[in-house]
A and B are shown apart, each in its own frame.
Chain A
Amino acid sequence: MSITVIDYGSGNLKSAAKALETAANNINLTSKILVTSDPKKIKQSDKIILPGQGSFRDCYLGIKKISGLSEALNEFVLEKKKPILGICVGMQLFAKTGYESEETKGFGWIDAEVRKINNMNKKLKLPHMGWNEIELKKDCFLFSNIKNKSHVYFIHSYEFKTKQKDCVVATTNYGNSIIVSVVKGNIFGTQFHPEKSQKNGLVILENFLKWKL
């Protein structure tokens, strides 16, 4: 299986690639993991990972700056309907609009927007940083072998908000309930970092590798 981690100058891609490699080994899957922004290679991939660190705006502009990249991603996701996993800001980019620093368009694959987490009159520190429990909202193959209330690692100040409740597979609690994982057809996103969530994270990556549509 060929898996591509999309490289558009955002953050720690090595961890995502290494965690995928380990997850593939754990399930005896022969895989080729690429880290690239080459639209041609993306088109040939079976599955892709869209990471994201920093601001929504910087990430979206970073993708737009690379010739043919956003077109290749749209084709992969909307036309070929092949599996994508968006991590952190990578998931947030699925939304129609982000409101970090200024209003910015996202891919709009899910009818959603990205807004700053309510810090409850400064009672809560931001970023929401560290290990929090996830509440599984429905049965989903991607969370196979993950117990309800499992801990995963978060680091973000903005949250994904959608009225498409059928897409929401997991939430967490930080002042309010926050959406932390969405699935819509071939599109899978996690606000938390599976590549930083020790055993639980590797299990989720294994599930993504095993995922058949």
Chain B
Amino acid sequence: MLKNRIIPCLDVKNGRVVKGINFVDLVDAGDPVEQAKIYDQQGADELCFLDITASNENRSIILNTVKKTAEKCFMPLTVGGGVRTLEDIRNLLLAGADKVSINTAAVNNKNLVKESAEKFGSQCIVVAVDAKKIKENKWEIFTHGGRKSTGIDALKFAEKMEKMGAGEILLTSMDRDGTKRGYDLDLTKKVSNLVNIPVIASGGVGSLDHLHQGIKIGKANAVLAASIFHFGEFSIQDAKKYLDSKGIPVRI
């Protein structure tokens, strides 16, 4: 049976790990390669690096981080942040990323997802959907790390990205990110039911039961969290044991 995945995410800035509260007030806390090795040993199902300020800054540092991580960790690695061109995707794949997550550029350049899926295969193209609730049952896409509204409906966008060739959706609630109040379960469930590609729930995890809710209520195929793992509150094993005790299929 296919297991639900637990994905620790490291937000990386200038080669260092940070975790933002609503994407501001960054707290510096460690070397991403060392942190990745710990998650690997703990049995994380995948790793995710998000280069959070990469839209504006030098990109070469993250390539080096990816390269060093891929040399030590023999597990799937997704990298996102500041991915704008086919060349960016190619460089990340060559550095050792297995999947590349596209956010702002998927909104601004309609063909990037299509072209990259054709060139590198859908299996390595993740579209990061950053959504904010604007009214009941209505979510809008935000780009540039949540700073810029687009007026685009999040559900329609997710569906369109699937058609364009995305292999997976990384769905982040911008309302919940950094709040520790749990995933936006309505949003997660709506997107998961709508698309026929895997959905990763993201944004807002503050307890192990939030992971459980993301899978059970939100119908996500994978759950992503940053700070609860990063600051040592819980290990990956703690999360898996908890989910197992709730009857959720996980790899132990």
Contact = CB atoms under 8 A, between A and B. Distances in A.
Real binding pair: yes
B124 interface: yes
B1 A12 contact: no
Contact of A130 (B119, B120, B221): B221
A11 B93 CA distance: 7
A157 B122 contact: yes
A133 B249 CA distance: 12
A131 B74 contact: no
Contacts of B217: none
A105 interface: no
B197 A18 contact: no
B122 A127 contact: yes
Interface string A125-153: 11111111100000000000000000101
Interface string B160-192: 000000011000000000000000000000000
Interface stretch (B23-31, B94-102, B107-115, B150-158): B94-102
A161 interface: no
Interface string B57-101: 000000000010011001110000000000000000111111000
Contact of A125 (B122, B221, B251): B221
A22 B74 contact: yes
Contacts of B75: 153, 196-198
Given A131-B5, A151-B3, A54 B121 contact: yes
Interface residues of B, number: 34
Contacts of A125: 196-198, 221
Contact of A15 (B1, B4, B70): B70
B11 interface: no
Contacts of A58: 121
B149 interface: no
B76 A196 contact: yes
Given A18-B70, A19-B74, A196-B74, A156 B196 contact: no
B222 interface: yes
B93 A202 contact: no
A173 interface: yes
A52 to B, nearest CB: 9
B45 interface: yes
Given A14-B94, A55-B121, A153-B75, A129 B167 contact: yes
B121 A53 contact: yes
Given A129-B198, A132-B2, A133-B1, A11 B251 contact: no
Given A12-B98, A197-B74, A198-B40, A127 B197 contact: yes
A126 B196 contact: yes
Interface in A1-58: 11-12, 14-15, 18-19, 22, 53-55, 58
Interface in A50-74: 53-55, 58
Nearest to B5: A130
A128 to B, nearest CB: 7
A186 interface: no
A83 interface: no
Nearest to B4: A130
A76 to B, nearest CB: 25
A174 B2 contact: yes
A55 B98 CA distance: 15
A48 B19 CA distance: 42
A9 B167 CA distance: 20
Given A12-B98, A131-B3, A132-B3, A151 B251 contact: yes
A125 B43 CA distance: 24
Given A125-B196, A198-B43, 13 more contacts: A12-B96, A53-B124, A126-B196, A127-B122, A127-B168, A129-B123, A130-B45, A131-B3, A131-B45, A153-B75, A196-B75, A196-B76, A198-B75
29 contacts: A11-B121, A12-B98, A14-B71, A14-B95, A15-B74, A15-B96, A15-B98, A18-B70, A53-B124, A54-B120, A55-B121, A125-B198, A127-B197, A127-B198, A129-B123, A130-B2, A130-B4, A130-B221, A131-B2, A131-B251, A132-B2, A133-B1, A155-B76, A157-B122, A173-B1, A174-B2, A193-B76, A201-B74, A202-B74
